Amino acid sequence: MSSPEDTLTLLGESRSAELCTLKSLNTSTRRYVDIILLAYRGKYNHSPSVVSYLSQFPSFSAKTKLLYILLLLIPKGFVATYSSLAKILSTHPRAVGALLARNPYPLIIPCHRVVRNDGSLGGYLSSQKYLHLKKKILTEEGVEIICNKVSSEKILTLNALLKLREKAARFLETSSCK
């Protein structure tokens, strides 16, 4: 797995991970490892460490940061649709898909929690090739998938996402993530 500073290797099963190799352990890499381990332990939702990590990347546009924070706020066991997120961000669903395809931290920023309007899975890691991983992660998070579709009761409504957007916007206003 690549980090912004170095290459690291993580081994583990299910919800535990162990750091096996780390070529250099500078401050940036240490923070990245901490966040990866939080993600593996299932504690990345609402984690200030994860969200503050985003602030280190000024190359992320305000829209991208807002999208990534929104994804962090989606509870495990639920998903959002590309089109609902697009409405919230005043953009097109394909633009949301493009931002998710470029997600540099799929283990941290849960882009797997975004599906198509009809509940079908869409893509994952900018490909159809890894769709089985998306399905496995969602299933482990408590999302039932039948015939490659998420049931409608697991898809957050636009109103629920608007509330999450308010929370994300408040965070952006009060943090160094601007």
d(CA 109, CA 128): 19
Kindly state the percentage of the chain with pLDDT values over 90: 38
Of these residues, 20, 111, 147, 177, which one is catalytic?
Answer: 111
Confidence of residue 50 (pLDDT cuts 50, 70, 90): low
Q: What pLDDT, in 10s, does the model give residues 143-153?
A: 999 999 999 99
Whether 51 and 178 have beta carbons less than 8 Å apart is answered as: no
Q: What pLDDT, in 10s, does the model give residues 77-114?
A: 999 999 999 999 999 999 999 999 888 878 778 899 99
d(CA 39, CA 168): 19
d(CA 59, CA 68): 13
pLDDT over 50 (residue 15)? no
- Structural domain spans, the chain: 8-43, 60-174
For helices 158-174 and 82-89, give the axis angle rounded to 10 degrees: 50
Read off the pTM: 0.72
- Comparing CA positions, the residue from 156, 167, 51, 131 lying closest to residue 43 is 51
Instruction: Tell me the average pLDDT across 103-127.
Output: 87
Whether 111 is a known active-site residue: answer yes
Query: 60-174 — its CATH code?
Result: 1.10.10.10
pLDDT over 50 (residue 8)? no
**Which residues lie closer than 8 Å to 11 by C-beta, 6 or more apart?**
17, 18, 20
Whether 52 and 176 have beta carbons less than 8 Å apart is answered as: yes
